[in-house]
Amino acid sequence: MILIFNKLTKFFEDSILSYLKLNNKSEEFDKVRENILVASTKEEFGDFQSNVSLILSKICKKNPKVIASEILKLIRANDDITNMVEDLEIAGPGFINIKLKKNIFINELILNYKSERLNVPKIEKEKKIIIDFSSPNIAKEMHVGHLRSTIIGDSLAKIFEFRGFKVLRINHVGDWGTQFGMLISHLKDVYPDALKSTENINLGDLVEFYKSSKKRFDNDINFQEKARQEVINLQQGNAESISAWKLLCNQSRKEFNNIYNILNIKIEERGESFYNKYLKNIVQELESKNIIVEDQKAKCVFLEGMKNKEGKPLPLIIQKKDGGFNYATTDLAALKYRFNKAPNGDGAYRIIYVTDQGQSNHFSAVFQVAEKAQWIPKNCQVTHVPFGLVQGVDGKKLKTREGETIRLKDLLNESIKRAENDLKLRLEKENRKENKDFIENTSKIIGISAVKYADLSQNRITNYQFSFDKMLALNGNTAPYLLYTVVRIAGIKRKNNFKEDEINLDKILFNEIQEWRLIKKLLKFDEIIISAENELMPNRICNYLYEICQIFNRFYDQLSILKAEKNIKQSRLLLCYITEKTLKLSLNILGIETLERM
């Protein structure tokens, strides 16, 4: 409804400006301008409301009700407004309630219907955004935290892509650091042939591999020494160490890619190691700008507000006393690179980082240092998008029955398996026979979308409880419920032989409240997308989808569609089609595939 809203606002501004002129107060216009109209919170208040009289009452020193009626006179004389408005009334202490003519909405609905993107505006000039998400660590478990980052990051990327941004989806994989010393030493001991063969040998379960090398590292001084030496070899570019490192990375990468494939998510890997060659310069530049101080031989930055538990200043360590660099150093190099113009950078105008809340302090420190060093160009922006924990139904950390950390692959497969069981039960009950492909494909889509949607539909800041039973239920704010609504509409289309172009758009008419509720909701699509974008909150879209489905299902259950009289039938079919389009487009933006039957 952005178009309608902007148009009406413009006309109201004209009348209000004339009012201020009449009162010799036109210089006060800017104070009023921001809040001229808002969408009504309740149906009985009409479509839009204005509390401008209350603000004007302070400026003109008059009773707001008197002002409201004086303004109404001007507004009623404004043809632009009277052409749009059906009813204007003064309510409460001087609010103006505005009800628009029905054809205003119908026209917009038809315009949306004709547009691929339901008329959601695109940004005028293409700009590049980097979304840094997923970002698991080599040889370590990709855990539920990474799953959240992957799902939320993908959806944010899709929102921005839909709005016309150029999005670079970056996987800032943890592929560098001292842990590779112990991993490579362990590799050489356990798989002495691994580096000789030309084929990549299978190291088995990498997480187990990590655990056993860590155990050795913690308990064996000789091994520790070897591991330390290995770090140095690796940093100096020793060929054998590098190929061991590559072997480990390749193996992890395969496992990560499995997960991205199941989730159908695209992301480009550019791990921490990519920025190695820039780290020295980062330190030098910070030194030359007098941002670094030496503290106990480490190179540090002290930042305002960063304190440890005892209230003492807590430095951000940029270079350790042994010369090694930190997670933060790499992030500074990455930030600078991403804002730099090509060929030595990405030329982004904004970077968005999606990680758990636990990293908020890290990012706030990195951003502060970057600010001081003037690495964030004018009109550019960095944003951390934090999220809460995934918990089990008991409110504790999510674990298997045996108390182990859950593997992502197992978790996704279990969701698919459960979706399949539910589906088979349903088919039996409904006496339906379906082939193997149908069952496989349907279960996969339901299982995966259930996990994605359960995550996205939460306010990301809060912790959420992971429950297969809840997320796979056919009722409630779940993916299966939304998918089922899409399927219902596909069913109507099949019954009607999908004669979409036969609809006579000049003869659209709506008289029922169920239709109007649906229309008004459908027209909010553009606002919802833009608010999800502005607040970086995909759950806005989820809530909206759920509301549409509830309103649509009421419309579907309470009014007849295919049996209605010709013009009414066509009008209602049109509503079905636009609902379908809105649902599909929104689900697509959430990274959720839809089904025609289920």
Applying CB under 6 A, the span of 44-52, 105-113, 129-137, 588-596 interacting with ligand ARG comes to: 129-137
The amino acid occupying position 8 is L
Q: Does 331 bind ligand ARG (CB under 6 A)?
A: yes
**Residue whose C-beta lies closest to ligand ARG:** 135
**Residue 339 and residue 380 in contact, taking contact as beta carbons nearer than 8 Å:** yes
Give yes or no for residue 137 binding ligand ARG (CB under 6 A): yes
Smallest gap from residue 351 Cβ to ligand ARG (A): 9
Nearer to ligand ARG, 329 or 442 (CB): 329
Between 97 and 355, CB nearer to ligand ARG: 355
Determine the Cα–Cα distance for residues 419 and 68; give it in Å rounded to an integer: 57
Q: How many helices (H) and strands (E) does the chain have?
A: 22, 14
In this structure, what is the dihedral angle of CA atoms 292, 297, 302, 307, given to the nearest 10 degrees?
A: 170
Nearer to ligand ARG, 137 or 582 (CB): 137
194 contacts: CB under 8 Å, gap ≥ 6: 187, 188, 201, 203, 244, 247
Region from 133-141, 307-315, 462-470, 520-528 binding ligand ARG, contact rule CB under 6 A = 133-141
Which two tokens mark 520? 């008004």
Per the CB < 8 A criterion, the answer to whether 515 and 429 are in contact is no
In three-state secondary structure terms, 385 is strand
In angstroms, what is the minimal distance from the CB of 248 to ligand ARG?
15
What is the closest distance, in whole angstroms, from the C-beta atom of residue 335 to ligand ARG in the complex? 8
Is 135 a binding residue for ligand ARG by CB under 6 A? The answer is yes
Q: Is 273 in the site for ligand ARG (CB under 6 A)?
A: no
Buried b (16+ CB within 10 A) or exposed e, 298-334: bbbbebeeeeeeeeeebbbbbbeeeeebbebbbbbbb
255 is a site residue for ligand ARG (CB under 6 A): no
Per the structure block, which two tokens stand in for 249?
């990375």
127 Ramachandran zone, left/alpha/beta (phi>0; psi -120 to 50): beta
CB of 259 to ligand ARG, least distance (A): 14
Contact flag: residue 179 with ligand ARG (CB under 6 A): no
The owner of tokens 């169920």 is 514
Q: Is 132 in the site for ligand ARG (CB under 6 A)?
A: yes
Q: Which residue number, 329 or 458, has a Cβ lying nearer to ligand ARG?
A: 329
Question: Considering the rule CB under 6 A, would residue 353 count as an interface residue with ligand ARG?
Answer: yes
* Under rule CB under 6 A, residue 253 binds ligand ARG: no
Between CA 4 and CA 1 the distance in angstroms is 5
Which part of the chain contacts ligand ARG (CB under 6 A), choosing from 35-43, 130-138, 177-185, 218-226?
A: 130-138
Q: What is the CA radius of gyration of the chain?
A: 29
Answer yes or no whether residue 325 interacts with ligand ARG by CB under 6 A: no
Q: Is 172 in the site for ligand ARG (CB under 6 A)?
A: yes
d(CA 569, CA 565): 6
Q: Are 125 and 79 in contact (CB under 8 A)?
A: no
Identify which of residues 147 and 519 has a Cβ nearer to ligand ARG in the complex.
147
Q: Give residues in contact with ligand ARG (CB under 6 A).
A: 132, 135-137, 172, 174, 331, 334, 353, 355
